[in-house]
Structure 1
Amino acid sequence: MEAGGASTTTTRKRKAAALEGHPAPAPVAAATDPGMGEDDGGGSGENRQDLDRLSSLPDAILGEIISLLPTKQGARTRILVSRWRHLWCSTPLNLDCRHLACTWHELPALMHRIINAHQGPGRRFCTPELLYTINDIDAVEACLLSPALARLEELKLNSWRRQPLPELVFRFSDTLVVFRIEQCSLPDATVHRFHFPRLQRLELVHSSITECSLHSMIAGCPSLEFLLISRCSGPRCLRINSLVLRSVTVSNFTLGAPMLDEIVIESAPCLESLFHLDQDRDLRVSVIFAPKFETLGCTNSTRLLFGSMDIQGSRTIKCLAQTMPTLSLDMVIGLMRSFPCLEKLYIQCNTSRKNNNVWRRKYRDLLRSLDIRLKIMVLKYYSGRKPDVDFVTFFVLNARQLESMTLMVQTDDIDEDFLAKQHHKLQLEKRASHGAQFHFTAERRHEFGYKLSF
């Protein structure tokens, strides 16, 4: 459909140009044909320039574009035309070892070969997803010692086999902007040296650290804006005092070890979002000072306190991502009462079979006073059964400011018959907001909370 639409648009432009007495614009190709010869990037003729406008960009801009591509795709740009051959070797290196096509025992040599052959600075280094032996870790450390990575901005140490954080990462203390640490041991003596003044994003995954060291690590990152703590053992309480932190994401599931069960936001004037992603894992969140706190991702096990009041009195929350075990209209109405300025609502639930979401008599009096300000709503795992239909029709018939509702369906059979039946069941012709758009999709995501938090 998109290709047909583009063709129709081009035809209309040509007709309009002909009517006005102007020549019709020539179509522009999406990419240069690799088999068009050894001509330099701009081409010698007018037609060639139309076909390859991307190559007419300066080297500096092309280098930035190539550095954003995955390693394999970035290297392949060398085969396009001679104009591109030198670019990948001189652009900032984006080396993601997780996507290299080789066996695991060939990987160390390949990493060294790429780094040694590259003439540009190293910007991003992501280690292999699985490090099978200590020798693999030694190979990664040897890469980190390379002069080519001296100005590294993004480092992801994946699957570090619970080994201590290597001391050599501190050589990047003045340059790192993004740092991911996975399956690593973070002893107090090492964390004491943790000082990365430019670091903006810190991700701690499946690692062990003491509560004191966790706070020391955060304090050592004065520019930190995004913090992820996923399934780390050791700390029980996280206290946030930061002038620049904007987003916190927590997954606090651990097996047989102390887990994070409390977050206290003491002073965070720039904090905008907080996500708790583990259902059935209790987390107590106390908010003392966070005037810009607008986005909350929570589960049925998240207990939120603003000041001294339990989940009451917050007029700053405008976006809510809620994971619940079963779809419950009662729970959602309770949330709208607690967050009276709510505009965006994302719901993920496993089932709706146990709940009765019939609402017409039950909430007849409430609807006279309840101010529903929702503009955007997304429901994952919509089944089309009666509890789901009753839940959705509540908002179809009563949300007067609704702009968009997306229903992520548990089937791939979204055809015209399915859509016609849902249109009738949900009474879309009677919608309270005449401009509201309704979308059905079979798109699946493991946790859209993760997507929102990043």
Structure 2
Amino acid sequence: MEVAPVPGGGAGEEDGGGADRISNLPDDNLRHIISLLPTKEAARTRILASRWRPLWCSAPLNLDCRDLTADNAAYAGMVATMLSSHRGPVRRFCIDANLLADPPGATDAWFRSTAFDNLEELEFSSNQHSPPAMSIFRFSPTLRAVTVEKTVLADAVFHGLHFPVLKHLGLSEVAISEMSLHSLIAGCSALEHLLISNCMGLNCVRINSLSLVSVGARLTGLRRPMCPLLLGKIVVENAPRLERLLLLNSGTRLHVTVVSAPKLETLGYLNDEHYYSGFSRLVFGSTVIQGLRIVDEQLVTVVRTVKTLSLNMDTLSLDRVIQLMRCFPSLEKLYIRLPKSGPSNLWRRKHRDLIKCLDIRLKTIVLGSYLGNKTQLNFATFFVLNARVLESMTLEYYADSRLDDKEFLSKQFRDLQLDNRASRGAKFYLTTNISIRNHWEFMHVRDLDLADPFACE
């Protein structure tokens, strides 16, 4: 393979690399470029050219203190030195207060500094069983993204507090009451993305927001003596802009009721795992989905807005998926993490009459952990032979060593009966690449800000 040489330019006149057009930009533009870089890379811009040297010290600071390596005694001093030596404002600040010898005292002093006056992004983590310094909330008028982890947020903090430009909010292992969370959401008039992960002090979260676009909720059964109450219910009461609802639970059940979300398009990760306390439950109007089973097929509320669905199946059942397609008739993308076993999924006789009337609108199907056994093969073949508008089917193969075997590949495609596929333009892929994003990979609220959160590009 030939590699074309990279053309010169932009390296600066000092190293003879040709015209340096970037350095001709106004100072404010260059400072903005520097502010988008991680701290270490931003500091290195001083060596690019003489034009850049004074800009670093006055550029907006993107400071992630979690990358610092120091003991607790020296940690606060290093952060204080960086803040005092930098003349520019702090735009993004990430701090693990657990590494500070005196977390409330140190953080309070920093947050009162004028350098933080227009702070836009804050990530704060602490293992202290007490609220953070009150000065942390003085940035509420300017904050656009906030992640808070492993701390206590007391009720008194949120009385009358407003975050008018906040768009991303992540709460992880935070002790917070239902009243405080509801007050916090109400005070964020521009909030678009909300991640609630293993938070304590909550039993039922009610979503009432005119701005929310995506919501992610994780529940793993984690309990702490200080606050044993865990999230058990979510009620989406009024969310006119909500497009994505991601249930990232594992290890315990979660009950979700959707009352009003007229733009909901993306839903996941529904699963049929049976926990010690029962199945997870999802309710749309009169439709109750328990695990992956529709409790009463005679009382199905059709949800026509949902176009993308992700399932984690403990038992691979074509019948259950057909039920869900009836509930979500506009479904265009289906992601399924396949189990190794299940029923035979024979369908030709059982669903002979259904095939004539079922309108399968699926365009994209991705099946993870595919082995090609009988239950999986019958499942996949149903869609090969009946999905008339299918554009692509991806089989994420589990045993990568056999994909070099041309005879094996030919047999797989032959068994899928691709010559008889219902959609003549459909493409089929057998790959060892990870094709479905796992629910535990959603670690940051910004992970919710994806048009298709399940696809691995």
TM-score interval for Structure 1 and Structure 2 normalised by the shorter chain: 0.7 to 0.9
C-alpha distance in 2 between matches for 1:83 and 1:388? 62
Whichever residue aligns with residue 34 of structure 2, its letter is: I
Contact 1:400-1:433 at 8 Å conserved across structures: yes
Q: Note if 1:81 corresponds to 2:49.
A: yes
* Counterpart among 281, 285, 294 of residue 303 in structure 1: 281
C-alpha distance in 1 between matches for 2:317 and 2:71? 49
Tell me by how many angstroms 1:420 deviates: 4.3
Gaps of 5+ in 2: 272-278, 290-300, 450-457
State how many pairs are aligned: 420
Moved more, 172-181 or 388-397: 388-397
Residue 284 of structure 1 is matched in structure 2 by: 255
Contact 1:412-1:442 at 8 Å conserved across structures: no
Taking structure 1 as the reference length, what is the TM-score of the superposition?
0.83
Residue 448 of structure 2 is matched in structure 1 by: 453
Tell me by how many angstroms 1:70 deviates: 2.1
Residue 173 of structure 1 is matched in structure 2 by: 140
C-alpha distance in 1 between matches for 2:412 and 2:440? 24
Moved more, 66-75 or 146-155: 66-75
Change (3 A) 1:74 1:399: farther
Gaps of 5+ in 1: 11-26
Structure-to-structure mapping, 1:92-171, within 5 angstroms: 92-100=60-68, 105-128=73-96, 131-132=98-99, 134-136=101-103, 138-171=105-138
C-alpha distance in 2 between matches for 1:66 and 1:415? 46
Tell me by how many angstroms 1:193 deviates: 4.7
Moved more, 332-341 or 99-108: 99-108
C-alpha distance in 2 between matches for 1:29 and 1:432? 51
Taking structure 2 as the reference length, what is the TM-score of the superposition?
0.82
Residue 296 of structure 2 is matched in structure 1 by: none
Residue 232 of structure 2 is matched in structure 1 by: 261
Structure-to-structure mapping, 1:314-353, within 5 angstroms: 314-349=303-338, 351-353=339-341
Q: Which fold has the larger relative contact order, with Cα–Cα distance below 8 Å and residues 6 or more apart in sequence?
A: 2
Structure-to-structure mapping, 1:14-413, within 5 angstroms: 28-29=7-8, 32=11, 38=14, 48-49=18-19, 54-100=22-68, 105-128=73-96, 131-132=98-99, 134-136=101-103, 138-256=105-223, 257-300=228-271, 301-310=279-288, 312-349=301-338, 351-413=339-401
Q: Note if 1:438 corresponds to 2:395.
A: no
Contact 2:72-2:101 at 8 Å conserved across structures: no
Contact 2:219-2:250 at 8 Å conserved across structures: no
Contact 2:73-2:101 at 8 Å conserved across structures: no
Q: Note if 1:424 corresponds to 2:402.
A: no
Contact 2:104-2:132 at 8 Å conserved across structures: no
SS of equivalent to 2:346 = coil
C-alpha distance in 1 between matches for 2:217 and 2:112? 32
C-alpha distance in 2 between matches for 1:124 and 1:323? 36
Contact 1:328-1:352 at 8 Å conserved across structures: no
Moved more, 248-257 or 219-228: 248-257
Moved more, 434-443 or 134-143: 134-143
C-alpha distance in 2 between matches for 1:376 and 1:209? 40
Tell me by how many angstroms 1:154 deviates: 0.7
Contact 1:251-1:278 at 8 Å conserved across structures: yes
Change (3 A) 1:53 1:167: same
C-alpha distance in 2 between matches for 1:154 and 1:231? 22
Change (3 A) 1:434 1:236: same
Change (3 A) 1:55 1:269: same
Percent identical across equivalent pairs?
49
